[in-house]
Amino acid sequence: MYTRTVPVIAAVFQALFLSAGPAPAATYTDGEVLNTYVDCPLERIGTQLVRCDNLTGTGVDAPYWIPEQK
Comparing CA positions, the residue from 51, 46, 47, 43 lying closest to residue 61 is 47
Mean pLDDT of 1-17: 74
Give the residue, 4 or 67, on which the prediction is more confident: 67
- Residue 32 has a pLDDT of 66
- 33-63 burial by CB neighbour count: b if 16+ within 10 A, else e? eeeeeeeeeebbeeeebbeeeeeeeeeeebe
Taking the C-alpha atoms of residue 44 and residue 61, their distance in angstroms, rounded to an integer, is 9
Which tens digits make up the pLDDT trace of 19-59?
A: 556 666 666 666 666 666 678 888 999 999 988 888 887 88
pTM above 0.75, yes or no: no
Neighbours of 3 (CB within 10 A): 6
